[in-house]
Amino acid sequence: MHPHAKMYPMKKIFCLMLLCLAGVTSMACAHTTGEVAIGSILHDAQMQGLSGGSKKLSSFYGKPLVINVWASWCGPCRQEMGSLERLSHRARGGQFNVIGISTDDYRDAAAAFLKLSKTTFPNFIDHDVILENMLGADHIPLTILVDAQGRVLDKFYGANEWDSPEAIATLKKTFHIQFK
């Protein structure tokens, strides 16, 4: 038997692993159609109200903005909603705004979740996937930090505790604000 004969299967496995990893990496870097990159200004969009009337996205400009993209069927989204609600109470001093964008197909499901979770900050539904694509929500939850002029400052995928000391420190640094 050739001395390298046993290595061939290992090389083959290694090559297959690299190909798989390359496929995962390219998928992780995939962007949604029309996604606005960090550093760019969001396009204005009409948003259909879930917990109030419809509004233009630009109506929230003038103050920093925390946008959370979620769905009622998404476990991690449901998990972080309480911390976003608590954060919105801290924001009521006027330093920044918090809004939510539901990607639910059914308005009733999204509205029922908001009622069940006692969420009071403004939420909207994105039936036409316009906001979902613009914000880059290829997976959720997604939270976007936007400056007062509508420029995307940062994006966070996955559930977070938005009222934790670490998150508050990130918001202070990103928005250049002080919390009371």
Rg (CA), the chain: 20
Residue 59: how many other CB atoms lie within 10 Å: 11
Quote the pTM value: 0.82
**pLDDT value for 92:** 76
Which tokens belong to 176? 């250049």
Is residue 156 scored above 90 in pLDDT?
A: yes
Q: Give Dmax over CA atoms of the chain in angstroms.
A: 77
- In the chain, where the domains are located: 1-30, 36-175
Residue 139: how many other CB atoms lie within 10 Å: 13
pLDDT single digits (tens) 18-66: 333 334 333 344 477 889 999 999 999 999 999 889 999 999 999 999 9
Give CA–CA dist 56/178, Å, rounded: 27
**pLDDT value for 9:** 45
36-175 has CATH 3.40.30.10 classification: yes
